[in-house]
Amino acid sequence: MTRVHDMGGRFGDGPVVPEAEDAPVFAEDWHARALAVTLACGALGQWNIDTSRHAREKLSPKDYARFSYYEKWIAALADLLVEKGVLTRADLEGKGAAGLHKLAERALKAENVAGVLAKGGPADREGGPPPRFSPGQAVRARIPADNALVDGGHTRLPAYAAGAQGYILRLHGTHVFPDSSAHGLGEAPEPLYAVRFHASALWAHPEHPEDEVVLDLWQSYLEPL
Amino acid sequence: MPHDHHDDHSHALLPPDPALRVKALETILTEKGLIDPAALEEIIDTYQNRIGPQNGARVVARAWSDPDFKAALLADADPVLAELGLYGRQGEHMVVVENTAQQHNMVVCTLCSCYPWPLLGIPPGWYKSDAYRARAVREPRKVLAEFGVTLPKGCAVRVWDSTAEVRYLVLPARPEGSEGLGEEELAALVTRDSMIGTGLARQPGEAPA
């Protein structure tokens, strides 16, 4: 079964309300703080991007739906800090031990911010299994879309594509496999493909016969046809 | 599922008001030396003032002006962008897709909010909204209409759902009447939305949105 974040194709959300091009980057000061605190905590090196995405996804469906964007970030960060043993529940209640943390020496310093942001965190890797598919080849996305390694675990195969037939558009190279990486099971890199699907393979009422959706899908999400 | 705590989320221990919630967490982390307030200011300043759609607009204007640059950008964007100093967090694996008379490209992240930060900065609120994430893949033309964009009948829509660490930038069509403009003037015609695919580039003389 899917989680609440997997909303591609869902009905009932109403119109998209665009902001002006020159609207402030952060609508509220606390949005900027939430982003900065989250990035700074990531630099402590206690989790990876897949773990942090999963932490947001596994907020309860009620919280996920009622929280604004940066509330999700902060809630997931608090959960993750406790889950990874960086903070205790007592710390969050303001009753924790005083003094410097043992990870304090890893704290991101202002002078290193530009370098860390410029360096990024590339996801491509050497090795892994050889590519099984080539451009143009017909494939089917695995069904069900669940994480095959961990029950209820993180996956990047959206439910709307599960079971659909598509065509390999391009090979992106070999990338870290989030279904494994999110759960401390290793990077397990796999070939990653852009796969195009006709809208008619995904939706009962496509808007236009020529429209397509392209998803980036790992090799183990795909079966040959 | 071993890691869920349905009735016992740690975040519920923080204050309910979001601004106070962030403040509380920031205070705890600062007291323990886990975050440096000066580093937070640096991160905020970077994305508020230095990294934004002006970066992507520069790339698009150059691609409109220089066929060799455009060919290289479409073939393999990463080395081209790295040379311009536009490599970085959330832009490690870039693919640039070109709008043509036959195909309009549009980018979404249905699972979260993946977005090419080094080129466009932090995504706008609508890009992260449930409505955009849910609908862009199923009814892109209705969503485009909400942005005031109507495509000719013969133009197909290709929606790119950013499900991996690959980030997509749309290369919008160069507007008619822009012949003879220099790169700087062209860059002023490139909107953020035109590089996500929910807008088109401005016509010369058209007022900024």
pLDDT band at B153 (very low <50, low <70, confident <90, very high): confident
Whether pLDDT at B65 is above 90: yes
At B198 the pLDDT is 98
Q: State yes or no: pLDDT of B1 exceeds 50.
A: no
Domain ranges within chain B, ordered by starting residue? 17-49, 52-196
Question: Token digits for B197?
Answer: 């695919």
B4 or A150, which is more confident: A150
**CATH number attached to the domain at B52-196:** 3.90.330.10
Q: What is the CATH number of the domain that holds A148?
A: 2.30.30.50
Active-site residue, selected from the candidate residues B65, B113, B155, B178: B113
Average pLDDT over residues B73-93: 97
What angle do the packed helices A49-57 and A29-42 form, to 10 degrees?
A: 130
Residue A215 to residue A158: CA distance in whole angstroms: 9
Task: Look up the ipTM and state it.
Answer: 0.97
Q: Is A10 on the interface with B (CB under 8 A)?
A: yes
Percentage with pLDDT > 70 across chain B: 95
pLDDT value at position A170? 97
Q: Are residues A70 and A36 in the same domain?
A: yes
| Residue A35 contacts B where some CB pair is shorter than 8 Å | yes
pLDDT digits (tens, 9 = 90+) for A34-66: 999 999 999 999 999 999 999 999 999 999 999
Q: State whether A34 and A115 are in the same domain.
A: yes
DSSP B148: T
Q: Same structural domain for residues A43 and A115?
A: yes
Q: Which domain holds residue A78?
A: 29-119
Task: Return the residue of B nearest to A29 by Cα.
Answer: B19
Please state, in angstroms and rounded to a whole number, the distance separating the CA atoms of residues B131 and B115.
Answer: 17
The verdict on B82 touching A (C-beta cutoff 8 Å) is: no
What backbone torsions phi and psi does residue A192 show, to the nearest 5 degrees?
-120, 135
Looking at residues B105-114, what average pLDDT do you find? Answer: 98
In the predicted model, residues of chain A with pLDDT beneath 50 are: none
Across the interface, of A40, A122, A156, the residue whose CB is closest to B40 is A40
The pLDDT value recorded for residue B4 is 55
